[in-house]
Amino acid sequence: MFHKPEYAVVFDGASPLAGSVTADCSDAKWLVDALCVSLPRYLADASLDLAGCLALALEGILPRYLGCEGAASVPAYGVPSAGAVMVRVVDAELELLRIGDCSLVVGLRSGEFITMEDELLPALDANALSVLVETAARQGIEARAARPLINDELVANRQRMNEPGGYWILEPYGKGVSQASVLRVPLGEVRDVLLMTDGFSSAHDTLHLYANAPELLVAVRDTGVESVFGAIEAGFAADPTWNRYPRFKQIDDITAVHVVVGDVRAVGGTGTQ
C-alpha cells in the first residue's frame, strides 16, 4: 500500500502454496515490495495508463525474480502473485484499475456508487470452501482442522492463474495485466473512493456486517477505516474454529485506503494462519 496526493495503490499478495526462492519471508511479499519500489516512477508519467505502468514495472522485476536460484523451475502454483486496486488523477479524470480479488467502490457526488469487484477468483474460492466444509463434516472435525486436507484443491485453483477459464492477477511474468478491469470517471463527479484487499471487504461479503461494498464505504465515511478494521478482527476472533465463517486462514491481510477528494486515510494489517 502506498499513496500520494495524485494516486493511491493497494496490493494483496497471495498466500504461498510452495516454498520461497527469494530472500524474503514469502515470494508474494517480495513481489509486492518490488512493485512498491518500481511502480511510482511509472505512475508519475501521465502518458502511461495504469495497466501500462504495471506492465513496465513487472518487466523490470522479472529479471530479478528469475535471478533467484530455482525461480525458473517453480511450478505454476508456486509463482508469486498479488491482486491490486489503483486510482490516479489524470487531468480532469480519475483513472481506476482492479485485478485479482482486491476491490474498490467509488462514491459519486450524485449519491450513486460504482463498484469494481472480482467474480472469478471468489467463485473458485467458494468452491474450495465448499470442499472444506464437506471435509470437516465428513471427518467430524472443525473447519480449521480440515484446512490442511484440502491443499490439493487450493493448488488446483492456483494453477488456473492467468489462464482462460481461471482468474487474472499480477505475477512476475505480467501475463494478467492486459485483463485488468479499468475505468475512467470525471473527477468532478467523484466524492471519494475506497480501495481494499479481500480481507477488508470481508466486512460485507463474509462477516455480513454490511450489505455490500457501497454500505461499507458509507460506514468508513461515518466511523473511519480503523473502526471497520477493528470490527473485522473481532468478528473472526469470535470464530476460532472457522465453522461459522469457513475460510483458509484465521484472518486475511486487512488493508484499505479511503481517498476523499482533497484527503487520504489509510489503515493496514497483516493476517496470520
Transcribe 168-203 into DSSP letters: --B-TT-TTGGG-EEEEEEGGGEEEEEEE-HHHHHH
pLDDT category of residue 2 using cuts at 50, 70 and 90: confident
Measured CA to CA in angstroms, residue 194 lies from 35, 86, 273 at distances of 21, 10, 26
- Mind listing the pLDDT tens digit for each residue in 28-71? 999 999 999 999 999 999 999 999 999 999 999 999 999 999 99
What's the grid cell of residue 124?
473458485
What is the total count of domains within the chain? 1
- Mind listing the pLDDT tens digit for each residue in 97-144? 999 999 999 999 999 999 999 999 999 999 999 999 999 999 999 999
Return the percent helix, strand and coil in the chain, to nearest 5. Answer: 40, 25, 35
Domain extent, residue 115, equals: 2-269
**What is the arithmetic mean of pLDDT over 10-39?**
95
Return mean pLDDT, the chain.
94
pLDDT score recorded for residue 231: 97
**What is the arithmetic mean of pLDDT over 175-181?**
97
CA-based nearest residue to 81, from 195, 199, 173: 173
pLDDT score recorded for residue 272: 33
CATH code, 264: 3.60.40.10
pTM exceeds 0.75, yes or no: yes
Q: Which residue in this structure is represented by grid cell 499513496?
A: 3
Q: Which residues, 6 or more positions from 27, have their beta carbon under 8 angstroms from its beta carbon?
A: 16, 20, 21, 78, 79, 80
pLDDT score recorded for residue 273: 29
* CA angle, 79 then 169 then 231, to 5°: 105
**What is the arithmetic mean of pLDDT over 159-172?**
96
Q: Which residue in this structure is represented by grid cell 484443491?
A: 153
**What is the arithmetic mean of pLDDT over 235-261?**
96
Q: Does 271 have pLDDT greater than 50?
A: no
pLDDT category of residue 1 using cuts at 50, 70 and 90: confident
Rounded to an integer, what distance in angstroms lies between the CA atom of residue 43 and that of residue 192? 20
